[in-house]
Chain A
Amino acid sequence: MIEATIATLIIAIILAITFIIGILAYKLRIKVLRVDTYMVAGRALGFVVTFLNMAAVIYSGFAFLGASGWAYAFGAPVLYIWIYGALAYTFAFFFAPRIWEIAKGQGLLTQADFFMWRYGSKLLMVLTALVGITFNIPYGQLQILTTKYVLDLSTYGALPTLHVAVISFVVVMIYVFLGGMVSVAITNVFLGAIMLAAMLGGGLSLIFYYFGGLPGLFAAVELASPKHTYLWAAVGRNSIQWVITAAVGCGLGFWVWPQLAQMVFPAKDAKVLRRSITMTSWYHVLGIIWASLTGLVALGLGMKLAVADHAFLALIRDTFGPVALGFIGAAGMAAALSSAAGIILTQASLLSRNIYQGWIKPGASENEVILVSRLGIVVFTIISVILAYTAPAYIVYLLLVGYTGITQMFPGWVLGSIWKWITREGVLAGLIVGLVVGVLTCFVWPDYLGIHSIIWGLLFNLPITLVVSKLTYRGG
């Protein structure tokens, strides 16, 4: 019981500090609340805030616990997570400053704003806003469930964890509601720093404590389960072709997620943005790699886990006791809640800026847009909470198809920012066909031939976008 009290107390303190920072950021940093302050922090964020805000939103609770669980359950296929992050940062280093320049010059606040500006199409703007909102719904709900997993282990079963997870989620949404991006970004500095310390410190300490380093770890894993050390599956998920296509597909789709677009816009200049992306790539290799290797530590030690995603926290609890567990548990919760904050704010921004102001009521005032954003935060929070309690089966389907669906915006988002001859007809045709093929290769022929559904979608989407654009481009 005393262990549960210590770990729970640490988690509660960190949640309380997060809440206070969020509220103080709103009270002290916002003089006049404008739409651009609420959605992109007035494009005034410096290097440290941009970097840690980006990292905290990117690395969700699922990445924090799921990567080690994946390594524990399957071994080498976890490498796709290492790879796609690395690919995504090399891409963003060259691409993101270009998008930032456009956003700054044209006053864009959301990703869907870009589609309106670039293609002059309300239909495309509303469609991309709806895609961004819909495919993010399961991610909001997932963050509540991840917080529950963290609390299940950290409180040693002493608390009704789903209720506590929901309360934590609502607490975070209060400061998101009030301060928007300013509160999200400043609290994410605190949460992002805790997450990095936990992933690097927790991962390295477990590896060195038990095995003295990576060679010892791999020797133990090869003894316990040799097939975990290489890609052995010939077909289907986790086969070598799946790992390659998943890594490349997710690497391409990474910066297409609307919440990541919205984390790019608040940087105060392109140089700050490049520096932040460089540091986030360091965050990737210093964080997620070592957190995911804890799955192999559990395997090497012969631990029998009922839930693979418990690997990291169960090891910390059994090895270092309740204080360390409280800290790592708080970091896991931080990862979940910081991502949830970014996701819900982005959904609310797409709703108010692109669906309400862009489509339903074009003449809406700044105050109205902020009001609709805040209503959106309330609505999406309620949806996430209801789904967390009821968890209907379709949520799993949305999650499966999420990355595939979002990545189909890649041609319009990326190629459209580079080549002027990409047209709205081409983007629309490619997007619709890519979504249909993506859904089919998710559910009807799942990852057909072991190739990830993202790639199947793009294989149809890209040529259609290019050919239709060539045919419909009129110049100018």
Chain B
Amino acid sequence: MSRKTATERRFIAVAAVIWFMLSVVLPVVNRPDVHVVGIPLLWFWVLVWVFAVPILLTIAYYVLEVRP
């Protein structure tokens, strides 16, 4: 397996973690009584992980395509 393929697989693993956090974990964070910085936990959780996607892809693009 090439170094690039191995690195790509690591990024796919991180993407899988994001899929997990944005789906399976939702019932756990669906708590109307819990807030983070004034935002209901559910919304805060989704905001954080949804923003994690472009950050991850930007890093992955840089690592895989700009400086492979």
Residues of A within 8 A of B (CB): 76, 79, 82-83, 85-87, 89-91, 93-94, 214-216, 218-219, 222, 226, 229-231, 240, 243-244, 247-248, 251, 271, 274-275, 277-278, 281-282, 284-285, 289
Contacts and interface: CB of A to CB of B under 8 A. Distances in A.
Q: Is the interface of A mostly helix, strand, loop or mixed?
A: helix
B53 A86 contact: yes
Contacts of A285: 50-51, 53-54
Nearest to B46: A79
5 closest Cβ contacts across the A-B interface? A215-B38, A90-B15, A281-B54, A278-B57, A86-B53
11 contacts: A86-B22, A86-B49, A87-B18, A87-B22, A214-B38, A229-B40, A231-B42, A244-B24, A247-B22, A274-B61, A284-B50
Nearest to B49: A86
Interface string B5-40: 000100110010011001110110011100101111
B54 A284 contact: yes
B23 A244 contact: yes
Contact of A90 (B8, B40, B53, B58): B53
Which of B18, B22, B60 neighbours the largest number of chain A CB atoms within 10 Å of its CB? B22
Contact of B61 (A218, A240, A275): A275
B26 A243 contact: yes
Contacts of A244: 23-24, 26
Nearest to B59: A278
A83 B22 contact: yes
A222 B37 CA distance: 15
Contact of B57 (A218, A231, A281): A281
A271 B11 CA distance: 16
Which of B35, B46, B64 neighbours the largest number of chain A CB atoms within 10 Å of its CB? B46
Nearest to B22: A83
Contact of B65 (A82, A216, A231, A275): A275
A215 B47 CA distance: 13
Contact of B54 (A214, A219, A222, A278): A278
Interface of B: 8, 11-12, 15, 18-19, 22-24, 26-27, 30-32, 35, 37-40, 42-43, 46-47, 49-51, 53-54, 56-58, 60-61, 64-65
Nearest to A245: B23
A230 B27 contact: no
A247 B49 CA distance: 14
Q: Is the interface of B mostly helix, strand, loop or mixed?
A: helix
A93 B57 CA distance: 7
A86 B27 CA distance: 19
A94 B26 contact: no
Given A83-B46, A285-B54, A90 B30 contact: no
Nearest to A215: B38
A112 B3 CA distance: 34
B22 A215 contact: no
Nearest to B34: A230
A396 to B, nearest CB: 28
Contacts of B27: 240
Given A89-B57, A218-B38, A230 B31 contact: yes
A224 to B, nearest CB: 14
Given A79-B43, A218-B40, A244-B24, A277 B57 contact: yes
Nearest to B26: A244
Contacts of A76: 30, 42-43
A27 B53 CA distance: 39
Nearest to A283: B54
Contacts of B58: 278, 282
Contacts of A229: 32, 40, 42-43
Contact of B23 (A216, A231, A248, A274): A248
B8 to A, nearest CB: 7
Contacts of A274: 61, 64-65
A215 B32 contact: no
Contacts of B19: 87, 90, 248, 251
Contacts of A251: 19
